[in-house]
Chains A and B, each alone.
Chain A
Amino acid sequence: MSPVKLLVYLLIVALTLFYAYPLVVIILEGFDTDISPIFAPGIRLIGGVPYYSGGITPSLIYYIDMFTVQGFQKLIINSLVIGLGSTLIAVFAGVFSAYGITFYSGRSGRLYDFIMLVMRSVPPFLLIIPLLWTLSSWGFWDTHAGMVFAYLTLNSPIAYLVVRSLMNEMPRDLVEAALTMGCGAWKAIYRVVLPLLMPGIMVAIVFMLVLTWNEFLLASLLTGPVSKTVSVGVWTGVGEQIGTFRTVEFEAQAAAGTVALIPVTAIILLLRRRLVKLFVLSTS
């Protein structure tokens, strides 16, 4: 083996450790009742404080606790309801507005594109105060409907931009032919546009589901006991909320994190290289 080849393999091993090791730790910690490290029992530092640890003691306690006492399944349902709700409404609105802009508007369509592009770069923090204020004054704080609305502000620009670029790539002639042959606008969408764009739209829906499933900032402030989502549950694990910060049990976080990770990993592995296109599409 040439030295260059050896170096390549060594680097790949190092990168494998870098990418995989934190995940392995998180998965193992969820099954381990001991505080921290896996290697070498003994005294070590946790957050700068010396601690005694006895290595690994396998146990399912955190998973049992999570699905019985903590009711993590409720958070999963919440996340799915909120994610699907906001994603589907956003895509629905996106299809219609993109259709209108693509086939009926002239230069004014560029303005709408630009507004949506601006909205894509809105920092979520800008939305916090208006959303907190509006949702709580209308009694929608910590409700599924309120969260669907909140995520609509994040999802609808992405949905619009993705669908719009799909429509730009689509042969216009088909739609124009359908319209000339007496197809109404609604029928043209239903019979021509949707079947053509369906694969792309499905991918976009899945992508936005992942984004909402993983979103933390808005969910942590806009949800309470009723509509708490998975990513909030991953952080809070078990423990008391004391002001901004709280006590935390790391193993509970690890277990919840592992559960939250499974469906998203499956989706990411299905999307594979399409991810690049999705990220780019939603900015172009």
Chain B
Amino acid sequence: MRLSAVLLFSPAIALSIVAVLYPLATSIYISLHDLDTTGSGWIFVGLKHYNEMLLNRFFYQSLMISVVYTVLSVFSSLLLGVLTALLLRQLVRGHRFVETLFMIPLAVSPILGGIVWSPPAVWDDLNSFIHYAFRLPFIDVTDPVIYFPIMVLSEAWLWSPLFMLATLVILEGFPKDGLEAAEAMGASSRHILTMLYLPAVFRSRVIAMLVALKSVDFFRSFEIPFAWSFWVRESQLGAPTDTLSLMLFKMLLTPSTGSGIPISYISAVSTALMAVSLVVSLLIYRQLARIWGGVMG
């Protein structure tokens, strides 16, 4: 019977290993080789492309952009989500309706997230409004100082509802006894917020995991920067929109003259990106567990 069971589940395991490990192994293989232009196949070049990466200024610039983008996006979605949830709980009526309304951005695909916050959608309206109502100058969304925060804001718009839902789940599971005890002992609503609710939210395992998950996701985020690089006409390498993923995308679709598409280099960078995001996610996991006192397996 044991053998039949092994026979039963081994094809499934084999399938998933092929589906996930094959592309990964191929990518690592390509990153260590060069495609021979004479057509004789792949030549082993060792860590050449990783070395190239470490000498490339576009790589460092994109890395910086990705890190800043990730940090800002995680903080803004977390804070916005928690704030929204706390405000929602103050509502006496219409609580469910407003929650439903705020949840809709979760249905928006990231690429559509790059469209709904684009200059022709929101900012032209806003510009005409402030111009005709207050006689203020137009906001120039083609300025990196303006559009970078807008990109972050779009990410927060897309993902803060997830943090809002998580916060609502946590607060609704908050033990009634603790609340009643605090009220009986004369705690003001401000005390209840700062000493009961907020610690409960920020120490929860759910929030910690969502933060870890979204950090990794934002670090490799592609769609919104891609959409914005189109809106503000930043198609060349080294633009302020270039997160690591977008830099690789531009390298893939706009080949440099002479050498063709640098697929080995792209593979090297994406392998490194994967290693970094893996390490970062494990570290965040551990750190959050330690700092926030949650128990994680």
A: residues with CB less than 8 A from B are 5, 8, 11-12, 15-16, 18-23, 25-26, 29, 35-40, 42, 44-48, 89-90, 92-97, 99-101, 103-104, 112, 115-116, 118-119, 121-131, 133-134, 149, 152-153, 156-157, 160, 179, 184-186, 210, 213-217, 221, 231, 234-235, 243-245, 248, 250, 253-254, 257, 260-261, 264-265, 267-269, 272-273, 275-276, 279-280, 283-284
CB pair A234 B270 closer than 8 Å: no
Residue among A20, A89, A128 with most chain B CB within 10 A: A128
CB pair A130 B107 closer than 8 Å: no
> Could you say which residues of chain B place their CB within 8 Å of the CB of A133?
26, 30, 263
CB pair A123 B274 closer than 8 Å: yes
How many whole Å from A247's CB to the nearest CB in chain B?
10
> Could you say which residues of chain A place their CB within 8 Å of the CB of B281?
121
CB pair B120 A234 closer than 8 Å: no
CB pair B166 A276 closer than 8 Å: yes
> Could you say which residues of chain A place their CB within 8 Å of the CB of B109?
213-216, 231, 234, 260, 264
Q: In the complex, what distance in Å separates the CA atom of A37 from the CA atom of B129?
A: 9
Name B278's contact: one of A121, A157, A215 (CB within 8 Å). A121
Q: In the complex, what distance in Å separates the CA atom of A265 from the CA atom of B84?
A: 20
> Could you say which residues of chain B place their CB within 8 Å of the CB of A16?
98, 101-102
How many whole Å from A110's CB to the nearest CB in chain B?
10
How many whole Å from A142's CB to the nearest CB in chain B?
16
CB pair B5 A104 closer than 8 Å: yes
CB pair B87 A22 closer than 8 Å: no
Listed A/B pairs (9) with beta-carbon separation below 8 Å = A16-B98, A22-B122, A45-B140, A47-B142, A92-B12, A93-B13, A121-B274, A129-B263, A244-B235
Say whether chain A's binding surface is mostly helix, strand, loop, or mixed: helix
How many whole Å from A123's CB to the nearest CB in chain B?
4
Query: Given A129-B266, A130-B22, A44 and B131 touching (CB < 8 A)?
Result: yes
- Closest chain B residue, CB of each to CB of A160: B16
> Could you say which residues of chain B place their CB within 8 Å of the CB of A214?
109-112
> Could you say which residues of chain A place their CB within 8 Å of the CB of B145?
none
The 4 closest A-B pairs by CB, nearest first: A100-B9, A214-B109, A96-B12, A130-B26
- Residues 97-115 of chain B: 1 if any A CB is under 8 Å from the residue's CB, otherwise 0? 0101111111111111001
Q: In the complex, what distance in Å separates the CA atom of A214 from the CA atom of B107?
A: 9
> Could you say which residues of chain A place their CB within 8 Å of the CB of B135?
none
CB pair B277 A121 closer than 8 Å: yes
Residue among A29, A126, A245 with most chain B CB within 10 A: A126
Query: Given A19-B157, A45-B124, A104-B9, A257 and B220 touching (CB < 8 A)?
Result: no
Query: Given A130-B22, A264-B107, A15 and B102 touching (CB < 8 A)?
Result: yes
Q: In the complex, what distance in Å separates the CA atom of A269 from the CA atom of B115?
A: 22
CB pair B277 A280 closer than 8 Å: no
CB pair A134 B26 closer than 8 Å: yes
> Could you say which residues of chain B place their CB within 8 Å of the CB of A125?
220, 222, 244-245, 248-249, 270, 273
Q: In the complex, what distance in Å separates the CA atom of A183 from the CA atom of B270?
A: 47
- Closest chain B residue, CB of each to CB of A96: B12
Q: In the complex, what distance in Å separates the CA atom of A249 from the CA atom of B154?
A: 21
CB pair A153 B162 closer than 8 Å: no
- Closest chain B residue, CB of each to CB of A263: B107
> Could you say which residues of chain B place their CB within 8 Å of the CB of A244?
235, 249-250, 253-254
CB pair B20 A153 closer than 8 Å: yes
How many whole Å from B23's CB to the nearest CB in chain A?
4
How many whole Å from A129's CB to the nearest CB in chain B?
5
CB pair B108 A261 closer than 8 Å: yes
CB pair A20 B278 closer than 8 Å: no
How many whole Å from A188's CB to the nearest CB in chain B?
9
Q: In the complex, what distance in Å separates the CA atom of A161 from the CA atom of B166?
A: 20
- Residues 1-33 of chain B: 1 if any A CB is under 8 Å from the residue's CB, otherwise 0? 110111011111101110111111011001000
Query: Given A122-B24, A123-B220, A254-B121, A45 and B102 touching (CB < 8 A)?
Result: no
> Could you say which residues of chain A place their CB within 8 Å of the CB of B104?
19-20, 23, 265, 268-269
CB pair A44 B6 closer than 8 Å: no
Q: In the complex, what distance in Å separates the CA atom of A92 from the CA atom of B109?
A: 26
How many whole Å from A144's CB to the nearest CB in chain B?
16
B289 interface residue per 8 A CB criterion: no
Name A129's contact: one of B103, B210, B216, B267 (CB within 8 Å). B267
CB pair B213 A112 closer than 8 Å: no
Query: Given A19-B105, A243-B254, A275-B165, A93 and B16 touching (CB < 8 A)?
Result: yes
